[in-house]
Copies of this chain bind each other. A is one copy, B any other.
Amino acid sequence: MAREAWGRWGAEDEVGAPNLIGPEQVRLAASLVRTGQVMSLSQPISVRTPVPKHRAGAMHFMGRDGGDYAAGAKRPGGFQFAEDTVVLPLHLGTHIDALCHAWCDDHLYNGFPGATVRSTTGALRCGIDKMKPLVTRGVLLDIVRLRGTVAAPGDVIGRAELEAATAGAGVTLRQGDAVLIRTGWLESQTARDVDFNAEPGIDVEAALWLASRDVAMIGADNFAIETLPFPASTVFPVHQRLIRDHGIPLLEGMVLRPLAEAGGTAFLFVVTPLPVVGGTGSPVAPVAVL
């Protein structure tokens, strides 16, 4: 494969496309704030957060709570408190994929061996702890508005539609942008059992077009950015090309309808992954500031 971004930021780089966000991009993003409205773009995290059938969901345990005091627990100095622990799959809900999350041919982004990702150490290369907090311009590509309806499961969103949505947003993509694609998938899920095997998403050509615009990150309101089922004989082809070859992190499971309804098109965007050492991703709570 092409491996377009390998070596682009040096042989030891583990950051990838977020390198495209420099101080200039940050300043520009901050200058976009108009109303001061802060939009949260994340799903709540709970035992009910939808997950594919083959994956475990989150667990949430209270180690101490108000019930314990009701049952007679002591309160030294009057102090009462509650604390808790989660068992948290890192690719749950609204989450970002680190560059070590997906690869092929036994090599990660920038040529690091897949064998550097191990049970005992986590990812020695390209872990989520190597990803910078992202502060940049966010651009919403609203396919729902473009189509006048939500995209259906299995729908392919191609380059032309992305270009049309970009024009519809009144913006030109710039280096370092975080592109957020609203397909309508997540907002369409009403059943308790979500079908993760069929969703609308972009294809490889659309993905490569975004990469060619030097975007820093691609997010969407679906499970995998790309369309499912995959084209014949391929498995997560967009993941392979974007994450491995272009070093572009993906931000999946976003909540984008309220942002669209608030009229967000280009805005200050901030997402700060938890720096889990050697982690392959992180649940996140990204925000758009209008």
Contacts and interface: CB of A to CB of B under 8 A. Distances in A.
A56 B67 contact: no
Name the prevailing secondary structure of the A interface residues: mixed
Interface stretch (A33-41, A142-150, A160-168): A33-41
A33 B28 CA distance: 10
Interface size class of A (residues with CB under 8 A): 35 or more
Contact of A118 (B65, B87, B116): B65
Contact of A80 (B90, B104, B270): B104
A25 B37 CA distance: 10
Contacts of A59: 56, 85, 87
Interface stretch (A8-16, A119-127, A199-207): A119-127
Interface in A109-141: 113-120, 122-123, 129, 132-133, 135
B40 A132 contact: yes
Interface string A76-119: 11111111111111110000000011111110000001111111
B105 A78 contact: yes
Given A66-B116, A270-B270, 11 more contacts: A40-B133, A42-B274, A64-B119, A65-B67, A65-B123, A66-B114, A78-B104, A79-B104, A80-B104, A82-B123, A274-B285
Contacts of A271: 272
A108 to B, nearest CB: 8
A10 to B, nearest CB: 20
